Structure formats: structure tokens, C-alpha cells
């Protein structure tokens, strides 16, 4: 995991009235909350500036929230912006590193925060921006570049974006090169592509990194799904490769042919802001492949609860349940 944006910054000053006059009258920030002689909070774009008086706020006032003590003498504080999905990722990431959560709660006005401590005892928070009611970035009626040279993927993304008034152009049409995918996860590779396109085109960029993960093959082809198709992107060859490996394992029963598609959509802005969204769909692999619709491994993937493969499905039906559609619904909730 990687923090993407700071949501709160803390400064100190014993003369809160003077600090308010400076940041409100001189700098032009809007006061969001104030407790006389103890603190004043300012709204600045997509972030908050919190100013505490260390002489009077060493003890958290009763009118404050149930958050762990921070922002006063001896305990600095930093808050990183995170979506609800990213918060879940941070919970797992911190636990993996042996870092205990000090608090995990929902704010009365909506939104979640989690807190931990750094080695020096400073408070580290990850929070949804909506805890402050901050305005969200929006893609509605925006022009963006789709960071892909895959015609099938571009077509599907355009079909998903169309109803929202988004004008999408492909990275290939702008002559942008495909960056080398050196990441070890779908998210890392999606991020590489979206950031490269955003900087290269000076536009908002949307990238997708997706692939097929076969449980019997320990998650392969995974992030290498496209590479299994070779330089000519021959997915008939790629599907045969998957089937041959399954046959070599004697994986003929449906329960031995479980698989899932993963899609990570990464949206990057030229100013460096990034938001990622993941979707998955589970199913079973069939052989021989069925259907001429879709692309990639679609003809051999039978989603759970359906009788048609992605290669047989009407595009509208596929868009309702696909991994990319699941990720896209999360994107819509956050950015439209």
C-alpha cells in the first residue's frame, strides 16, 4: 500500500486568534471549526489545516471526538486520505506489519477513520475525506485518456463511461507509449499506467490492469495474463496454455477449475492525485472455449450462477456482473 494524499496538516500556535486572522484574512482559508483559545480548523481545497494551542490543548477537550489524543504537546498528527476500500486495505497492511490499531470508528456525520502510532508516538490517521464534508473530485463531463492500447478494453471502458458524459480518448491515439509493467500486483501496474498517461497527456487518465487468476495454478496467469498471449496477443494460444496446465494437473472436475477475474481501475490526475478501485468476479473455466464475444480469456470463463460464458454473453449482460463493472461501480460511487 502507498499513501496518496494528506488530508490533515497540523500547526501549533499559542495565540489562536492571531493564527486565525493570518490564515483567514491573509491566506484566504475558510474556518471550519474553532474552540476558543484551544484550536482552529481551516478548510483548504481537498485538505484541512488544523492549528492547536499546545499550552491549552495538551488535554483533549470534552467537546472533542472519541479519537485518540493527538495534535497537542508530545503527540504530532498526520492524516492520510483514503477511500472506504483503501481503509480495509490499510487495516490488513498495518496488521501484516505488526502495527496495532489504536482506534477504528465511524464519525457521526459519516465516514470512517483508523488510527495507529508511529515509532515516535505520533498519531497516524487514515480517513475518508467525507469526515470533513470536503468536496469530492468528479469525472462527470470531463475529458480523459484511457491508458490502454487494447481495443477491446478501450471499447468496454467507453461503454461504461458513456452515460456520464465523459469524453474518453485512447493513449494510443495520442501516440503515448505503453509503460513497462514492472509492478507485482494489479494495483501497482494500473497505477504505473495511469500516472504515465496523466503526465504524458496532461489529462485525467484512467488505466485498468486486469487478469485471470486460476486457483489450481496458484493464481496464474494473474498479472501476466496478457503475456501468456505472446507478442501477437493471441488469446487462443493463452487459453490453450491455461487448459494444458490444468490437464497436466488432472483438473477436469469443475471444482478443480475455479478461477476469478480481477480488475483494478486507477484514475490519475496531472497534479499527482490518484484513486484506485478493485473488482472481482468468480467462476469456472470451461473447455473448449465458447462464444465469439468479449476478448481475452472471456470464452473459457463461466461466471457463477450463469449458463453463458463471457464470450457468449450479450455485452449489456456482461457489463452488469464483470470484474471491470464491479470496479467501475465503486469508481462511480466515488467520482460521479
> Residue 37: which pLDDT band, with cuts at 50, 70 and 90?
confident
Q: What is the pLDDT of residue 70?
A: 57
Q: Tell me the percentage of the chain whose pLDDT exceeds 90.
A: 44
106: its cell numbers: 465511524
- Considering the segment(s) 6-132 as one domain, its CATH architecture is Roll (3.10)
| Of the listed ranges 59-68, 210-219, 302-311, the one predicted with least confidence | 59-68
Q: Which of 191, 195, 158 is nearest to 173 (CA)?
A: 158
Q: What is the pLDDT of residue 63?
A: 47
Does the pLDDT value for residue 233 go beyond 70?
Answer: yes
Which whole number is the average pLDDT over 96-107? 90
Q: Which of 57, 81, 76 is nearest to 123 (CA)?
A: 76
Q: What DSSP character marks residue 196?
A: H
Annotate 139-166 with DSSP letters as a single string: -TT-EEEE----HHHHHHHHHHHGGGT-
β-sheet with 103-106: strand ranges across: 30-35, 39-44, 47-52, 6-12, 77-81, 123-127, 112-117, 103-106
Annotate 278-327 with DSSP letters as a single string: EEEEEEEE-SS---SSSSTTGGGEEETT-SS-TTTS-HHHHHHHSHHHHH
Q: What is the pLDDT of residue 215?
A: 97
Q: What is the pLDDT of residue 11?
A: 81
> Residue 8: which pLDDT band, with cuts at 50, 70 and 90?
confident
Q: What is the pLDDT of residue 74?
A: 52
Q: Which of 157, 159, 162 is nearest to 264 (CA)?
A: 157
Per-domain residue ranges of the chain = 6-132, 143-335
Tell me the C-alpha distance between 265 and 245, whole Å: 29
Which whole number is the average pLDDT over 299-308? 97
> Residue 120: which pLDDT band, with cuts at 50, 70 and 90?
low
Does the pLDDT value for residue 64 go beyond 90?
Answer: no
Q: What is the pLDDT of residue 134?
A: 73
CA angle 169, 174, 178 (to 5 degrees): 100
Does the pLDDT value for residue 274 go beyond 50?
Answer: yes
Residue with the larger pLDDT of the pair 55 and 251 = 251
- pLDDT tens per residue across span 237-265: 999 999 999 999 999 999 999 999 999 99
- pLDDT tens per residue across span 75-91: 677 788 888 888 988 99
Q: What is the pLDDT of residue 284?
A: 98
CA angle 330, 275, 87 (to 5 degrees): 75
pTM: 0.69
- Considering the segment(s) 143-335 as one domain, its CATH architecture is Alpha-Beta Complex (3.90)
Tell me the C-alpha distance between 314 and 294, whole Å: 9
- pLDDT tens per residue across span 124-149: 888 988 888 776 788 988 889 999 88
Q: Is 209 a catalytic residue?
A: yes
Mean pLDDT rounded to a whole number for the chain: 87
Contact residues for 47 (Cβ-Cβ < 8 A; gap 6+): 5, 6, 7, 8, 9, 81, 134
Q: Which of 325, 291, 332 is nearest to 309 (CA)?
A: 291
Catalytic residue among 15, 37, 208, 209: 209
Tell me the C-alpha distance between 120 and 72, whole Å: 14
Amino acid at each position: 500500500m502507498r499513501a496518496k494524499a494528506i488530508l490533515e496538516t497540523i500547526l501549533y500556535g499559542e495565540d489562536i486568534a492571531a493564527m486565525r486572522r493570518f490564515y483567514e484574512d491573509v491566506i484566504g482559508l475558510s474556518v471550519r471549526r474553532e474552540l476558543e483559545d484551544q484550536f482552529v480548523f481551516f478548510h483548504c481545497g481537498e485538505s484541512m489545516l488544523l492549528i492547536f494551542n499546545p499550552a491549552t490543548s495538551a488535554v483533549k477537550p470534552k467537546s472533542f471526538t472519541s479519537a485518540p489524543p493527538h495534535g497537542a504537546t508530545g503527540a504530532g498528527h498526520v492524516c492520510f486520505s483514503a477511500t472506504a476500500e483503501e481503509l480495509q486495505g490499510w487495516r490488513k497492511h498495518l496488521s501484516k506489519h505488526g502495527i496495532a490499531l489504536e482506534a477504528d470508528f465511524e464519525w457521526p456525520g459519516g465516514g470512517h477513520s483508523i488510527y495507529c502510532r508511529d515509532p515516535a508516538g505520533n498519531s497516524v490517521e487514515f480517513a475518508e475525506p467525507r469526515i470533513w464534508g470536503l468536496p469530492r473530485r468528479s469525472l462527470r463531463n470531463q475529458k480523459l485518456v484511457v491508458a490502454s492500447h487494447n481495443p477491446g478494453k478501450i471499447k468496454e471502458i467507453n461503454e461504461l463511461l458513456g452515460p456520464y458524459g465523459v469524453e474518453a480518448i485512447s493513449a494510443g491515439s495520442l501516440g503515448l507509449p505503453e509503460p513497462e509493467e514492472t509492478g507485482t500486483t494489479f494495483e501497482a501496474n494500473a497505477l504505473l499506467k495511469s500516472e504515465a498517461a496523466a503526465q504524458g497527456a496532461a489529462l485525467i487518465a484512467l488505466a485498468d490492469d486486469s487478469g485471470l487468476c486460476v486457483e489450481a495454478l496458484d493464481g496464474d496467469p494473474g498479472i501476466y495474463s496478457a503475456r501468456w498471449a505472446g507478442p501477437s496477443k493471441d488469446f487462443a494460444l493463452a487459453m490453450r496454455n491455461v487448459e494444458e496446465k490444468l490437464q497436466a494437473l488432472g483438473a477436469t472436475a469443475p471444482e478443480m477449475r475455479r478461477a476469478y477475474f480481477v480488475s483494478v481501475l486507477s484514475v490519475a490526475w496531472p497534479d499527482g492525485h490518484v484513486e484506485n478501485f478493485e473488482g472481482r468476479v468468480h467462476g469456472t473455466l470451461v473447455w473448449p472455449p465458447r462464444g465469439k464475444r468479449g476478448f481475452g480469456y472471456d470464452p473459457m470463463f463461466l461466471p457463477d450462477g450463469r449458463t453463458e460464458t463471457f464470450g457468449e454473453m450479450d455485452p449489456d449482460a456482461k457489463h452488469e456482473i464483470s470484474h471491470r463493472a464491479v470496479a467501475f461501480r465503486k469508481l462511480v460511487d466515488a467520482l460521479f
